[in-house]
Chains A and B, each alone.
Chain A
Amino acid sequence: MWRLRLIPDTTDIPFLRWRKILFVFSGTLAVLSVVLLFAKGLNFGIDFEGGILIEVGTERPADIGGMRAVLGDLGLGEVSLQEFGSDTEVLIRIERQSSDAEDQLAITAVREVLDAKFAGEITYRRTERVGAKVGAELIEAGIIAMILAIALMLVYIWFRFELPFAIGAIIALVHDVLLTLGMFALFGLEFNLAIVAAILLIVGYSMNDTVVVYDRVRENLRKYKKMPLIELLNVSVNDTLSRTVMTSLTTLLALAALLIFGGEVIRDFTIAMIWGVVVGTYSSVFVASAILMYVRPGTGTNVAKSGFGDAERTKALDDPAEDEALQRFAALPDSGDNGEDDSAAPDDAPESEATGSRASRRASTSRAKRNKRRRKKRR
């Protein structure tokens, strides 16, 4: 059967050798993002700024000029109109009025004049209004949520790995968040509640990717105790590369479907997510691992101790007796008959188990040999 192959089975790409150039690249992008944030600022939607948003649908292609004219006469301050997805849908934004009551009057007035001018041809698809008070609270909640999410993840990584990993992961996260914000500032995309949700999700996703790489680093740190760190990191990134690419691709596939077919309302959200997945993947491969070069995770006790029973499990690699347990574990999902022989009666189980362990003993011996060879070669 023909099989799609995107990543060769064994890769040995010297990612870490490029780390200086990539640091400069990432650093520049991050700094640019900050500059953009301050110089241009984000295009806050009504969720944060307060204000009124009305989406109307029309029977025939909308007469935006006509609408603008009648709405301009109302004296509601800044009113912007734009086509939204198709030429029969128009998005009207009106700046926040002086009070909640004034906002209400503005909505009523807008509906009145539009109904008068386009009688029977217009439907109100969506009306959103956020008062100043709520806007301020939403900003606060968004910032708290973001900080809390990052802090919790830092604690989690610290707890499950060790501090250097946590530092690396957080730097990668901040990098992703900054670049996403920078992208929004650069293109002036509307920044609203959904985007905050998207960024939180990017944080989660990027962390997910980073953890997979770090998990491998942790494992390899125990496996190859004498390997130079740079080489070890490189092996780890290469080992996980095909998974990283695969998952990013499937996620991007799903997001692309959402972008193309998901409708106008969640378009910006999807764009943020797609960008976040790309940046998150990049940062897990290039940034997060490279940072470990500088914060130097210990090869010693701390790593071995962390996690539940990982240390023992690693030992199991070289210990044939433990592989027997592995075989028993293998049979778990299948209640009743055991191991390699599905026609065997339950009382045959011990025998087949023995066969299994013999097989795995063979396997693990060859593994140990191979590992030794590999280590020698690396030295």
Chain B
Amino acid sequence: MVVLVCAAAVLFAVPNLFSQRSLSSSYPGWLPSQQVSLGLDLQGGSHLLLEVQVEKVLVERIEALVDDARSALRGERIGYTGLKRRGQKVVLQLTKLENIEAAQELLSDLDREVEVVGTEAGAFELSLNERAIAERKNSALGQSIEIIRRRIDETGVSEPTIQRQGEDRILVQLPGLQDPERLKRLLGKTAKMSFHLVDQTVSELDLARGRLPPGTMRLPADDEVDSEGNPRFYPIRKRVMVSGDALVDSQPTFQDNQAVVSFRFDASGAKKFGRVTQENVGRPFAIVLDGKVISAPVIREAILGGSGIISGNFNTQSAKELALLLRAGALPAPMNILEERTVGPDLGADSVEAGKIASAIGLIAVLVFMLLYYGLFGIVADIALILNLIIIFGVLSILQATLTLPGIAGIVLTIGMAVDANVLIYERIREEMKSGRSPFSAMEAGYKRAFTTIFDSNLTTLIAAVILYLFGSGPVQGFAVTLGIGILTSMFTAMLVSRYILVWWLKRFRPKTLPL
């Protein structure tokens, strides 16, 4: 049993000695070949914690509800005032109290997801019910993860980890990433694109003062500035003529030696786009991305083919990025980057190197020390210790655990602490011998009595490791894993392996006294 476990551990630990390449080519296929995977802090890479601003999705939904309520009430000719969004609610006040019941019924029928509450005489509050809110948040998060995955896949990063965390967070881990800045630019953009008409009735002065007719908004240009360096503003009709959702493809290309982005609509998008351009020849048509006007070219002729070109102040790089974002689709809500940890490949390699040296020297120091202190028994403890390390690596490989820099520290620490169990046993054996027992009897009593002590004392350290794992993040968890495994394996090797060897030795040489 003991031999079997050790052999299995060796089998699983051995692949870690080889490089990835030689492993796949020359290592026998029937042997286990999983390796311990290195954490981002060792192989280099980026860890990003993103927060999806899900409440923005809700706000959008509530604003749509304002429009729905307006048209419903108008349709039934029910008079109202003060219809607007207030926080996460729609509020309104009826002008005539006799309409209360009709209005209540009408508003309740508006949407299954909406709850209507009459607050006071003739006043109503509309809000989304809790299930609808949860659903919206949930789907916004799911959609965001999907879009992030598409964007990252487009960049060609290998083996990204994209995980949902809690209610509104996404953890992105990208091993071996060369340019985190570019990735953050890609993830930081919502990439919501839409096409709008420009309101040509607004004078420059009104635009500057913000006096705009209803249905028109003032949007800044993406990179056009006036003579004083302030961004230029456009009066943009709020109505979305064609939305970016209808895009099926987008590529960076060149036009007159200028980087531009080409796009193509799906069938219905192409039809809409064709109609709008046909009806508005000679007028400017604004392309809006994330609330900024990229450009507002004048429509020269109807574009019926469903494809077109976005020109703006692009360079090759930014055209490429915009095309990628448009291809991958828009995020349902903007995102914040809450936390970022990026380790360059150099530092990672340095850490691995330092970790190896530290482990080796720590190991040798402890081995020599045990040998000097316990002699023959020290050798047995040393064998147990080395086996312990092999088993740790074997278990890490089987679990496909991630080895981090603190994880290496955990292993080094385990080297120091693993001999504890053996020390406890040996000291106990010494005592038992002093009290006059025969070598065999002393040894067995030593092992047996030391067991409770080892069990109790290791369990407290194990508690610490478990809590570290539960509350820690990333690298710290790696530390908890190696430490926890180390404690368990050291109990195993000390209680069984070293004992097995010692029993064999006792029987083989039958010493009169133990050289302890």
Contacts and interface: CB of A to CB of B under 8 A. Distances in A.
Interface string B79-90: 000000000000
B464 A203 contact: yes
Interface string B456-486: 1111111111011011110110011001000
A125 interface: yes
B58 interface: no
Contacts of A5: 373
User: Which of B2, B357, B435 has the largest number of chain A CB atoms within 10 A?
Assistant: B435
Interface in A111-128: 111, 123-128
Given A156-B460, A255-B412, A208 B420 contact: yes
Contacts of A127: 180, 340-342
Interface stretch (A29-37, A174-182, A258-266): A258-266
A65 B487 CA distance: 48
A126 B461 CA distance: 32
A348 B408 CA distance: 50
A55 to B, nearest CB: 7
Interface residues of A, number: 105
Interface stretch (A12-20, A73-81, A183-191, A356-364): A356-364
Interface stretch (B12-20, B65-73, B346-354): B346-354
Contacts of B346: 57, 123, 125
Contacts of A205: 417, 461, 464
Interface stretch (A225-233, A240-248, A286-294, A296-304): A240-248
Given A211-B453, A249-B369, A257 B423 contact: no
A100 interface: yes
B438 A359 contact: yes
Nearest to B501: A333
Contacts of B480: 197
A337 B496 CA distance: 17
A95 B430 CA distance: 58
Contact of B467 (A6, A200, A251): A200
B112 to A, nearest CB: 34
A347 to B, nearest CB: 17
B452 A208 contact: no
A107 B184 CA distance: 11
Contacts of B188: 104
Contact of B343 (A125, A310, A342): A125
A103 B336 CA distance: 11
Contacts of A22: none
A212 B184 contact: no
Contact of A340 (B350, B416, B456, B507): B507
B286 interface: no
A360 B441 contact: yes
B144 to A, nearest CB: 16
B362 interface: yes
A254 B342 contact: no
Contacts of B228: none
Interface in B312-347: 336-344, 346-347
A66 B475 CA distance: 33
B181 interface: yes
Interface stretch (B21-29, B119-127, B236-244, B443-451): B443-451
Contact of A334 (B417, B445, B460, B504): B504
B465 A242 contact: no
Nearest to A214: B456
B366 A250 contact: yes
B470 A363 contact: no
User: Which of A57, A103, A215, A260 has the largest number of chain B CB atoms within 10 A?
Assistant: A215
A144 B467 CA distance: 10
Contacts of B338: 100, 130-131, 133-134
Interface in A1-56: 1-6, 9-10, 55
A101 B465 CA distance: 36
Given A128-B341, A197-B468, A269-B409, A4 B372 contact: yes
B471 A144 contact: yes
B424 interface: yes
Contact of B444 (A1, A215, A252, A326): A326
B357 A261 contact: yes
A262 B441 contact: no
Contacts of A1: 375-376, 515
A310 B480 CA distance: 31
A208 B413 CA distance: 14
A263 B409 CA distance: 11
Nearest to A262: B358
B460 A363 contact: no
B292 interface: no
A359 B460 CA distance: 37
Given A149-B467, A342-B507, A246 B423 contact: yes
Nearest to A145: B471
B503 interface: yes
Contacts of B376: 1
A251 B413 contact: yes
A295 interface: no
A285 interface: no
B467 A152 contact: yes
Given A111-B181, A194-B475, A254-B417, 20 more contacts: A1-B376, A1-B515, A57-B344, A103-B337, A104-B184, A126-B342, A128-B340, A129-B339, A152-B467, A194-B476, A205-B417, A208-B460, A253-B416, A254-B365, A265-B41, A307-B452, A329-B444, A334-B504, A340-B440, A370-B436
